[in-house]
Amino acid sequence: MRREAGFGLIETMVASLLMVVMLAGLLSVGTFALATTENRGHLSTRTTEYAQDKMEQLLSLAFGDEQSNTTQFPSSNSGGTGLAVGGSSNPAAPAAGYIDYLDQSGNLLCPCVGTTAPDGWFYRRVWGVSSVSSTLKEVAVTVETASAFGKGLLPRSTVVALKSSPF
């Protein structure tokens, strides 16, 4: 009769303890997977998309345009730097006229004056234009986020293209 009595309280507690230990191990894997998916999947994709958007805006300008304001969309014909040589694709060293900010949904926050970040920004876009030759310019756009999920580096993307002067 005793053999058919089933599991005792001690066996049930040991099995429950083993399950708790296994679930705790899986929790850390799940947290890591969530952070990786958010940072390297979602945020990195967005930074690349916003860098490509800015690159398209810049490459649509004429080679000699040095006055269009590209810190706003659509660009205005004056008050900016256009494709003038200058700027920096390093977010830590932004240059006035070569920077803009987006909110978490990707909406442009301002035509920026200087390099002061507006409230509520989530993505910072910086770009630089350098002269390769008299008929060729290199344009580099970098976008990074204000924060990321968990610890680690902020998601950042850089897109580089060449703009030539047709004859």
- Ranges of beta strands (E only) in the chain are 86-87, 99-102, 123-133, 136-145, 156-164
Q: Specify the pLDDT at position 161.
A: 95
96 or 55, greater pLDDT: 55
Range 5-14 average pLDDT: 78
* Secondary structure element (H or E) that encloses residue 12, with its range: helix 9-36
Q: Which residue has the higher pLDDT, 10 or 132?
A: 132
pLDDT, position 71: 85
Mean pLDDT for the stretch of residues 91-98: 89
Model pLDDT, residue 27? 80
Q: What b/e string do you get for 74-90 counting C-beta neighbours within 10 Å, with b at 16 or more?
A: ebeeeebbbbbeebbbe
> Which uninterrupted H or E stretch holds 9?
helix 9-36
Per cent of the chain over pLDDT 90 is 39
pTM, 2 dp: 0.75
C-alpha distances in Å from residue 153, one per residue of 107, 122, 129: 23, 15, 26
Q: Which single residue is written with the structure tokens 């910086």?
A: 126
In the structure, what pLDDT confidence band is assigned to residue 70 with cuts at 50, 70 and 90? confident
The overall average pLDDT reported for the chain is 85
The rounded distance, in Å, linking the Cα atoms of 93 and 47 is 18
Q: What percent of the chain has pLDDT over 70?
A: 89
Q: Quick check: 33 pLDDT over 80?
A: no
Over residues 49-75, the mean pLDDT reads 90
